[in-house]
Chains A and B, each alone.
Chain A
């Protein structure tokens, strides 16, 4: 196993919105190797975006980072130091958001925006040729698209421009937060392919945040699955998909309709946040059909089993 490039350890975040304090990210740990395409999957409200944003110092107002550590290329920092973590954004971490048009300035042509990203990354050299190269890499033509404003281009093109901005800083890690949710499937596939190729060619690691398991299945080798702010299962994608161990992963896989072989769906009951509040407990217990009294007494420990870590009491008693 190679040395990890990016690690989050025991990240916990409370929301203080609406006067009540709620734990929304609970002891999340993950580690990404250099040049790896890593999947982070969860339903909405599972805390996947919030933990990634907090790991680069962008925890939104009303969120209180309680604890945890973030390590990026040998620099270790407590997650509470949000301002300090933001420094990572100019030292090798780039972001890609769901709404690319919203992430681009409506006042500037797209070429100017990529140029700004280059300048802010301290690029010294021939700008036009670097711009040309960046546009070529993301599959656009500087001469055709460069002079346009964001409202004049399509969603897929906007996401590619955002990608060019992200690549301008020559990052070692790209956090792509649902980059294809607003796109059509054919465009989505092209963009994901492109991400996977860039990942391999530039030796850049990517964390692909997605709410859809099928999206990560083709390109990621490892993934983490989040439920209500807790990691439920993480590790080798092939093994997890072939034999999911956590009841939530099993339910999630059974809930995805299959295009090729239609089968009966077995939906999980309830929703992510329907359960009782509380920190030291399994937060899936209200939807789980194997629930035991211990599930509500303490947080399940990570058990290593068959190429993945599973956080479930069921596997604590059974010897591997």
Chain B
């Protein structure tokens, strides 16, 4: 991967404290850093409450982070105000899980998407219709759907409209927050295919937030696994999702339903996420990890394994020093 990243996030923090449960650890995002390059599709996986949606919302400016920075190219979002912030927002767009809640029921698809175009002045007003038809074709909508209202569309078509609206802003990055979770299997497959085609035809980068490992594997070349606000493992999808190094990723993969179930004993976590059992400064997974050890009471270092797989776990840290790393497979982290 060459050149500057399109989006870079440094030590982003946004925590929510629950006054009703003062003993429980705050949830949200704690000090997450990563880069997304042009045309790259990055997946963010984790279970509910791990902070993946909060991270997405911070990236598009729907939530003001407590600390850290989000930068697009060379501009840092937190330093911007007013009109500059508006231009920034054009660069990072979002698609939500439930399209019916983000479309305006009183607008036709055409008016709705036109608003986005006008707002950011991405297209001269004379060329709107042509651009609209081009976009509709890109996301796999028939031209006659442009004149319809949201209630006249199916769930899959509505999600296509939401993707179309995001594309109309000519963004650098689109954050897709669980774009197919509310859809049926066959419709999900249609949308996933469209997303993959889009990726090769438009240069936009994706951040795909999902709890479904298989969906991420299909779309994304790189994946990040999040637990309680921290990224515990990241790397190329082919490596992380076939040879996961972190016990949590292993358990997540083992628990994923499959058409052909895996045989044999699998790693599984103990119980459910209990916020009052997690102590700040420890490895967040310690309370549930089957391999938890005394040293897990201090935060684990990030080990870099061959193939640029980065893991925040003491076990992987051992492997990192003992296993000889072939220099060919080890690339510098961008």
Contact = CB atoms under 8 A, between A and B. Distances in A.
B47 A217 contact: no
A259 B48 CA distance: 20
B217 A257 contact: yes
Contacts of A268: 186, 189-190
Interface string B46-59: 01100000000000
Most buried by A among B155, B184, B253, B255: B184
Nearest to A273: B154
Contact of B185 (A189, A218, A252): A252
B257 A218 contact: yes
Nearest to A272: B184
Contacts of B259: 213-214, 217, 241, 253, 256, 258
A291 to B, nearest CB: 17
Nearest to B262: A260
Contacts of B268: 186, 189-190
A272 B256 CA distance: 26
A215 B257 contact: yes
Contacts of A254: 189
13 contacts: A43-B184, A184-B48, A184-B211, A189-B254, A211-B185, A213-B185, A214-B259, A218-B257, A253-B259, A255-B186, A255-B189, A260-B258, A267-B187
Interface size class of B (residues with CB under 8 A): 35 or more
A266 interface: yes
B218 interface: yes
A212 B251 contact: no
A60 interface: no
Interface string B184-207: 111111101100000000000000
B192 A271 contact: no
Most buried by A among B47, B241, B272, B274: B272
Contact of B272 (A187, A241, A269, A274): A187
Interface of B: 47-48, 154-156, 184-190, 192-193, 211-215, 217-218, 241-242, 251-262, 268-269, 272-274
B267 to A, nearest CB: 10
B47 A184 contact: yes
Contacts of A215: 257
Given A184-B47, A257-B192, A211 B255 contact: no
Contacts, number: 116
B261 A217 contact: yes
Given A257-B192, A265-B193, A271-B156, A252 B258 contact: no
Contact of A156 (B189, B217, B218, B272): B272
Nearest to B196: A265
A218 B261 contact: yes
Contact of B184 (A44, A157, A217): A44
Interface in A60-84: none
Contacts of A154: 272-274
B272 A43 contact: no
A262 interface: yes
B185 A260 contact: no
B251 A217 contact: no
Interface in A70-117: none
B253 A259 contact: yes
A258 B214 contact: yes
A3 B262 CA distance: 32
A256 to B, nearest CB: 6
Contacts of A211: 184-185
Contacts of B213: 259
Contacts of B218: 257, 262, 265
Nearest to B258: A214
Contacts of A187: 272
Contacts of B154: 271, 274
A171 B251 CA distance: 33
A185 interface: yes
B214 A217 contact: no
Given A184-B48, A257-B218, A265-B218, A251 B255 contact: no
